[in-house]
Amino acid sequence: MKKMVLAGVCLVLAVACIGCNTIRGLGEDVSTVGGWVVKGADNVQEAGDK
């Protein structure tokens, strides 16, 4: 199981590195993913409040 998780993380990192050619681009990608996580957490919190 640990090997599959590690392989998945490596795959995501490889795709991220291919998708952006600069450190700035990588930072923007990470920021975008962080925004998605925050929005998802907000949606879950709102759903729990109802």
Secondary structure of 1-50 as H, E, C letters: CHHHHHHHHHHHHHHHHHHCCCHHHHHHHHHHHHHHHHHHHHHHHHHHHC
**Could you report the per-residue pLDDT of 22-48, keeping only the tens digit for each?**
667 778 888 999 999 999 988 888 887
The yes-or-no verdict on residue 49 having pLDDT over 80 is no
Give me the pLDDT at residue 20, please: 61
pTM attached to this predicted model: 0.49
